[in-house]
Structure 1
Amino acid sequence: MRLSTRLLSLLGGARGRDAEAVERLLAGAIDDATRRWPGVSLEPETFVAWVAARVPAGSEPVEEALAKLRLAELFLACACAAGSAAAIAAFDAEFIARDRRTSDDEKQVIRQKLFLAHGDTPARIARYGGRGELGGWVRTVAARVAIDSARPAREQPTDDDLLDALSVDPGHSPGLAQLKQDARQIVQAALNGAITGLPARDRMLLLQYHLDGVGVVELGRLFNVAPSTISRNLARIRGLLLAQVRRSLMSHHKLWGDELERLLEFAQSQLSVGGVIDRS
């Protein structure tokens, strides 16, 4: 089926004065997008349906309405919303990664907001209507993220939220209930210090995984790496945390032997890594 026929059918079929003009605009947009972002592909029917949902209501001919839309950029947005790793990588390289006005932490929040759905709410990239430049639209999203970052810390997910998510809870293990309160506090303080000493990127990854509940598949899509790479990074970070906790317990609290190993076991249970961490 011709692209114009499909679009006009989705729009009710009565608004197009020049089907050939509509066909040229749609086909040209696909050609422009594939030249601009090589490797990004999308079923034409999916793209046409995406465009149809964004043609403004009114009496103007379809070809005039289409001429006012950034069709090639709608193509990229549609591919991103469909979960295309190539599209998300291309989008990130052009509109996010090279933006010097936002910090690395803010860029990661932008990626999460744009490309991850939340329950029944679609990913924010689906809100792009194509009426302005995609780069300008992304800058608006980035500005909102920056404003949110400037709000009081209690309104935003922070390192404290991560510490809470990884807090030592005596209910997590039968053995923890046998510990004295001061022992739990010792482990928590060591863990808190270890988390605070992590690089910002590692803390952000832990925040997204433990606090936001973002899975390794979605995180892999955000970082443009395989889910197995995310799993390895999480294991590496947790290994660093446990090693730092060990050093803290030994140097600041002069613990060793069975007492040290028992506290480390409790710390490890909070990091939920089972046997992944090397405790040697």
Structure 2
Amino acid sequence: MVTGREDTDARERDAVAAALTKAFAAARPELAVTPGLGRALADAVAAAARAWPGVSLPAVRFVAALAPRLAADRPVEAALAELCTGDLYLACACVDGDPRALAQFDRLLVPIVERAAGRRGATTSQQTELQQIVRERLLMPRPSAPEESHARIAEYSGRGSLRAWIRVVATRETLRLLGRPQREVPGDDEAIAALMPADAGPEVEHLKQRYREAFKLAFREAVAALTDRERVLLRQHALDGLSIDRLADFYKVHRSTTARWVEGARRAVLEQTRRALGRRLHVAAAELDSIMRLIDSRLDITLPTLLREPGEAPGGPGRRRSG
């Protein structure tokens, strides 16, 4: 005997199947629609959603993205079964900027990059840089190609696993990074000298000469104390030249949020530098404040050099603050 609830559920399933069939037909009008297609699509959507709990993607949107990826020379339901629909579901949600999808994508990406880079002798710092490069390559729109303004992950076909697709990009970027010649960059001494203007006055010049090593150690300590997010943000902004607006697009947040993040990371460098210099220089607080005002006004000139790490020093990059 069919209960009222079962009858309602059946009608709802039929309505969902009809809506998905309609979305599919609109995306691929040349393909024949079989009687069981709507249910097959509904099952594929449900299985994909179960694979990524919490990821939000409308079923009709997913089917509209899935339909163009089906092989035209195969029966529709057979072609559907050949796709990695769960991975495609995650990729589509990433294109739409769903925060949980992006977090899940990151969990896939990090170990893949670590393995690809580690096999080729990349340092920890280079692995972190590669993670950001691959993220940007796959998740950020390409402003240089307005006609292709979508993120590259929108091109994922679903015909192989998403992990394998990421691995190809990670391997290529690893070879590109480790194979390119290192650019000529100022040494530590030049970077520290750049923090102090030539006309800073005899007292500051005296400190600069007498405590050059203290300045150098203080900045190294300050950069090492950054959280991973602070370091990555500063590297993206100062080294890679990503504007606040591009960072906002990348992280799917308002530009004021990324501006606050970048400024917070910059402040963290200055505050840690002040503490480290205070421990080493033993000068009056007013004098230290004067030095820090000079450094603050010129930090952006030398920050790229302070952040660049062509290789790990003995003992690693130092302990970082949690966060």
Give TM-score scaled by structure 2 length: 0.61
The separation in 1 between residues aligned to 2:172 and 2:293, in whole angstroms, is 42
1:152 aligns with 2:180: yes
> 2:304 aligns to what?
none
**Correspondence for 1:6 among 14, 23, 26:** 23
1:72 aligns with 2:91: no
Report the secondary structure of 1:66's partner residue.
helix
Where in structure 2 are the equivalents of 1:25-104 lying within 5 Å? 25-56=40-71, 58-93=72-107, 95-99=108-112, 101=115, 102=117
Question: How far apart are residue 194 of structure 1 and its match?
Answer: 5.0
Question: How far apart are residue 90 of structure 1 and its match?
Answer: 2.0
The separation in 2 between residues aligned to 1:2 and 1:35, in whole angstroms, is 20
Where in structure 2 are the equivalents of 1:119-198 lying within 5 Å? 119=143, 120=146, 121-154=149-182, 179=200, 186=208, 194=218, 196-197=220-221, 198=223
> 2:134 aligns to what?
110
The separation in 2 between residues aligned to 1:136 and 1:37, in whole angstroms, is 18
Q: Which runs of 5+ in 2 are unaligned?
A: 1-17, 118-123, 301-323
The separation in 2 between residues aligned to 1:230 and 1:32, in whole angstroms, is 39
* Percent identity (aligned): 29
Closer, same or farther in 2 for the Cα pair 1:8/1:221, shift >3 Å?
A: same
Question: How far apart are residue 74 of structure 1 and its match?
Answer: 1.0
1:239 aligns with 2:268: yes
Once the two structures are superposed, what CA deviation does each residue of 1:23-63 show, in whole Å capped at 9, x if it has no partner? 2332222111211111111122221222234335x444433
> 2:319 aligns to what?
none
Q: Which runs of 5+ in 1 are unaligned?
A: 171-175, 273-280
Closer, same or farther in 2 for the Cα pair 1:151/1:81, shift >3 Å?
A: same
What is the RMSD computed on CA atoms of the aligned residues?
Answer: 4.4
Between 1:123-132 and 1:209-218, the stretch displaced more is 209-218
The answer (yes or no) to whether the contact 1:219–1:230 under 8 Å persists in 2 is: no
The separation in 2 between residues aligned to 1:143 and 1:124, in whole angstroms, is 16
The separation in 2 between residues aligned to 1:188 and 1:114, in whole angstroms, is 42
Q: Give the letter aligned to residue 88 of structure 1.
A: L
Greater C-alpha Rg: 2
Closer, same or farther in 2 for the Cα pair 1:9/1:150, shift >3 Å?
A: same
Question: How far apart are residue 138 of structure 1 and its match?
Answer: 1.4
The answer (yes or no) to whether the contact 2:19–2:60 under 8 Å persists in 1 is: no
The separation in 2 between residues aligned to 1:258 and 1:124, in whole angstroms, is 52
